[in-house]
Amino acid sequence: MKKIIELLKKMWWAPLLLIIVVIAIYFSTSCNKKNKSNIIIKDTALIIEEIKQVKELISAQYFGEVYADLYEIYNEKTAEIKAIKEDKTLTKNEKNIRLKKLFKTYTRLENYKESNKPILVYIGRGWVNAVMDIKTLQFKVKKDPASKISSININVDSPKLIAPVINPYFIPEKKIPGYDIFIGENDTSLSATEVEEVKALCIKKLKEDAEKSNILETAKESATNTLKKFFTQLGFQPVNISFNQ
């Protein structure tokens, strides 16, 4: 499993490369009859607008495997129980109603102790994308009269993480599931809320792991390299990239 995840980590560039190739082919075809020395300055705005049509670029991906235990949810709920019991604004009857609702939703919560053996543990396998919003891209071209070489300054919003993805199958071809029940496969007495909250906790942990991996810095580096290579191929020198916070 670790080898598969490591391989996928190295393939984040695939969709990004495809987009750049499509754009490059488009302009190569549409401009092949023009003088190349005029294409860069004259068509820069058009090139930028075509790139913006892509809207977003995945500049980095994090693939990971996490696990979540129902008792992690219960630990949080014990604090809620304590707060209800100590709330002086509630009558005894109101407290009982709220507690009864909690215990109905969380089936083992009433008698829960930290020393209890786990009853539901999910393994979650998925990914988190760091996306750069191309629509925010702005540029400024400066031509050097002496060398006749144009530089370009590009400014764009910093990449942001989007919602983690854990699909029913992490790798469909190998039938590797996104969610895998580690403990509790035969326990059907748990509520739907308990199951869904454990899955949601997997998603939360996946995003936290992605943030710890410095994915946003990796996204900036890869986006910078990609944009520099693309505009250098068009003849700009130098290509300067800056990011908004």
Cα 87 from Cα 119, distance rounded (Å) = 30
Asked if pLDDT for residue 157 goes beyond 50, the answer is yes
235 has a pLDDT exceeding 50: yes
Residue 183, classed as helix, strand or coil, is: strand
Query: What percentage of the chain reaches a pLDDT higher than 90?
Result: 46
The pLDDT of residue 214 is above 90: no
Count CB neighbours of 148 within 10 A. Answer: 9
Range of the domain at 203: 2-244
Indicate the pLDDT class of residue 33, thresholds 50, 70 and 90: very low
Q: What pLDDT shows up at residue 133?
A: 85
Residue 26, pLDDT > 50, answer no
What angle is formed at CA 183 by the lines to CA 177 and CA 187, rounded to 5 degrees?
A: 105
Is the pLDDT score of 196 beyond 70? Answer: yes
More confident residue, 196 or 6: 196
Q: How confident is the model at residue 233 (pLDDT cuts 50, 70, 90)?
A: confident
- Do residues 130 and 215 make contact, with C-beta atoms less than 8 angstroms apart? yes
Chain segment 43-101, per-residue pLDDT in tens: 666 666 666 665 566 678 999 999 999 999 999 999 999 999 999 999 999 999 999 99
| pLDDT single digits (tens) 128-145 | 999 888 888 888 888 888
Q: 157, 132 in Cβ contact below 8 A?
A: yes
Q: Which amino acid, residue 224?
A: T
If one counts every other C-beta atom within 10 angstroms of the C-beta of residue 132, the result is: 26
* Count of domains observed in the chain: 1
Share of the chain above pLDDT 70, in %: 75
Task: Of 162, 172, 169, 170, give the one whose Cα is nearest residue 59.
Answer: 162
235 vs 111, residue with greater confidence: 111
Cα Rg of the chain (Å, integer):
26
pLDDT at 47: 64
Asked if omega into 15 is within 30° of 0 (cis), the reply is: no
| Distance, CA of 245 to CA of 235 (rounded, Å) | 28
* Average pLDDT for 229-240: 86
Task: For residue 5, give Cα distances in angstroms to 67, 126, 155.
Answer: 15, 9, 33
Q: What is the pTM of this model?
A: 0.73
E-only strand ranges, 134-177? 138-143, 150-157, 160-161, 169-171, 176-177
- Whether the CB-CB separation of 205 and 66 falls below 8 Å is answered with yes
- Maximum CA extent, the chain: 86
